[in-house]
Structure 1
Amino acid sequence: MIRTENLKKVYGKFELDCTMSVKPGYITGLIGKNGSGKTTLFKSILGLISVDGGKAEILGKDIRKIGENEKQKIGVALSDSGFSGYLTIKDMIIVFRHLYKEFDEKEFVYQVNRFSLPMNKKIKDFSTGMKARLKVIAAMSHNADILILDEPTAGLDVIARDEIIDLLRDYMEKDENRSILISSHISGDIENLCDDIYMIDDGKIIVHEDTDVLLSDYGILKVDSSMFENIEKDYILRYIKEGYGYRCLTDQKIYYKENYPDVIIENAGIDDLMTMMIRGEKL
């Protein structure tokens, strides 16, 4: 559905150089700290900014050759874009009728009513949560094969986030060949929703893992200085020196449980992965 190979974009000292893919039927998460390159990658894939090298494809076509038919099959919600604040949802329906060949007005109105979004109120007067819901509903409104969503749950309370996650699950259940590429700072959203995860840092992909593998096989070892000197280090990805000794990230949690029963081993989630991969040191 989406494939990039050494996709490059240079801004001063920052350079995006990214290889990744989003498979049919997958919800793929993109994580990384602010400024790591997530939004630049999204805009490069969508052709919203020029690129400086490499390849990118959507729906099997080079992004430079994407035509109107392919654009109709892509639903987008970017963190730094939205609808004119002076439009109402009724105004948007008129626009969408002309913009999208497969605009499903009945489903769009159903979802708007489901989330109690006012039809006649100007969007500029919507709350943050209402605007976020509307952006996702609009992206899903025209039978898109792929959704590209940049921080769709940012700034929302837990109830609003759950509602959007439910929307995305419903979208995927209607067609097993659909895909979603989504970025988020909310680790729980990514862990509960995504099939696989890419982590980007300083413009480079530094981790790609199936979510199930991450949650089952990755762990945090807590060891004192003596144990750190003697422990098998082939499966330690990063370490951080702390007051009691060392905190270590591994992708072979079971190995250490079986061979070092006295070591404290905690499950690792996305927050742990980000902290250790960005702040930790390689051996």
Structure 2
Amino acid sequence: MIVMENVVVDYTKFKLNCSLQVNKGMITGLVGENGAGKTTAFKALLGLIPVDSGTAKIDGISVDQLTSENKEKIGTVLSDSFFSPAFTIKDINRLLKNFYQEYDESYFLTKCQEFNLPLNQKIKEFSTGMQGKLKTLTALSHKAQILILDEPTSGLDVSARYEILDILQEYLDKYPESCVLISSHISTDLERICDDIYYLKQGKVLLHEDTDVLLDTYGILKVEETMTDKIDQSFLLYRKRTTYGYDYLTNQMSFYKENYANLIIEKPSIDQILLMVMGGEEI
């Protein structure tokens, strides 16, 4: 439902060159450090910035040819864009009713009530967590088939982050024909809900893998300096210098467990894989 093929956005000091795909019924995560290009990729996908080359399509339609009707099927959260801080939820409710033919007022107001969001209080008086919840609810309020969410959990405490992630999973369960593309620099958040994850660094996708595969088959080898030349390099992806030698990231942990009985091998978290990809050297 979402396809980016070799999309290039070339700024003076930064270049995005990104390919990714999000299929129906899936939640796909895009992770990377601040400045990795996540927001640039999202804006290119939404047609908010010009693309130098490559193609970006939503539901098979090039983003520069999306009609108003097509855009109604897209729900978005952008980290640097929202309604006026002087608005209240009641103001936003009126606007959403005018914006979207499929707007579900009952759903929106009910969820606001569940999240303890006051209807008459100005957004500028909301906490960061309250604003994050409200942004996500506006994206979900009009039965969108495609959700494009840029850092919806950024700056929130653990409880608020989990509430937002839970409501996304609930939404996809309710609308199984939908899909979600969500970015975060907190990769453990995405571990809870994402079917697959793209790792982005300096505008490039360095690794793409199903979440289950990352958690089940990836490993980190702890190799002393004297052993580095004795390790089979066939299934090693990245290495990182340490005080004792190297850490190696592999996508075939079982191979090294079977063939190197004395080697220390750790089963990494999504965050540890992220650190290896972002800070390591590709092999």
TM-score when scaled to structure 2? 0.98
2:90 maps to amino acid? K
Q: Counterparts of 1:49 and 1:148 in 2: how far apart (Å)? A: 15
Which has the larger displacement, 273-282 or 252-261? 273-282
Confirm whether residue 179 of structure 1 aligns to residue 179 of structure 2: yes
Count of residue pairs brought into register by the alignment? 283
SS, match of residue 176 in structure 2 = coil
Q: CA deviation at 1:176?
A: 1.3
Root mean square deviation of aligned Cα: 1.0
Q: Which residue does 1:159 correspond to in 2?
A: 159
Q: Give, in whole Å, the separation in 2 of the partners of 1:99 and 1:275.
A: 42
Where does structure 2 lack aligned partners over 5 or more consecutive residues?
A: none
**2:112 aligned residue:** 112
Which residue of 2 is the match for residue 82 of structure 1?
A: 82
Is 1:61 the counterpart of 2:97 in the alignment? no
One-letter amino acid matched to 2:81 = S
Q: 2:219–2:253: 8 Å Cα contact kept in structure 1?
A: yes
Report the CA distance between 1:188 and its aligned residue: 1.6
- C-alpha distance in 1 between matches for 2:46 and 2:270: 26
C-alpha distance in structure 1 between counterparts of 2:156 and 2:108, whole Å: 21
Cα displacement (A) at 1:195: 0.2
- Matching residue of 2:254: 254
1:13 pairs with 2:25 = no
Pairwise CA distance, 1:60: 1.2
Whole-angstrom CA distance in 2 between matches of 1:204 and 1:224: 31
Q: Which moved more, 1:75-84 or 1:133-142?
A: 75-84
Partners of 2:152 and 2:109 in 1: how far apart? 20
What are the Cα deviations for residues 49-82 of structure 1, in whole angstroms up to 9, with x where unaligned?
1111110101110111000111100000011111
Shift in Å at residue 177 of structure 1?
1.3
Alpha-carbon shift at residue 265 of structure 1 (Å): 0.6
Q: Partners in 2 of 1:29 and 1:106 — Cα distance?
A: 29
Superposed structure 1 runs of 4+ greater than 6 Å apart: none
Q: Which amino acid aligns with 1:90?
A: K
Q: Secondary structure at the match of 2:281?
A: coil
Q: CA deviation at 1:273?
A: 1.9
Structure 2 counterpart of 1:97: 97
How far apart in 1 are the matches of 2:277 and 2:120?
Answer: 47
Shift of 1:226: 2.1
Alignment partner, residue 196 of structure 2: 196
The 8 Å contact of residues 31 and 186 in structure 2, kept in 1 or not, is answered as no
Percentage of matched positions with identical amino acids: 51
Counterpart residue number, 2:281: 281
Aligned residue for 2:231?
231
C-alpha separation in 2, matches of 1:36 and 1:180 = 20
Cα deviation 1:102-132 (Å, max 9, x = unaligned)? 0000111110000010000011110100000
Q: Secondary structure at the match of 1:116?
A: coil
Give 1:142's aligned residue.
142
CA contact (8 A) 2:188 2:271 kept: no
**SS of 2:87 mapped into structure 1:** coil
> SS state of the match for residue 76, structure 2?
strand
Partner in structure 2 of residue 218 of structure 1: 218
Q: Distance in 2 between matches of 1:232 and 1:148?
A: 41
User: What 5-or-longer segments of structure 1 have no aligned partner?
Assistant: none
Q: Quote the residue 2:33 is aligned against.
A: 33
CA distance in 2, matches of 1:98, 1:41: 29
For normalisation by structure 1, the TM-score amounts to 0.98
Any idea what the Cα deviations from partners look like across 1:24-62, whole Å, max 9, x if unmatched? 011000011111111000000001111111101011101
Structure 2 residue identity aligned to 1:50: P
Deviation at 1:269, TM superposition (A): 2.2
CA separation in 1, counterparts of 2:110 and 2:130?
A: 15
Distance 2:185 2:201 in 1: 14
CA contact (8 A) 2:238 2:250 kept: yes
Residues 218 and 251, structure 2, Cα contact 8 Å, conserved in 1: yes
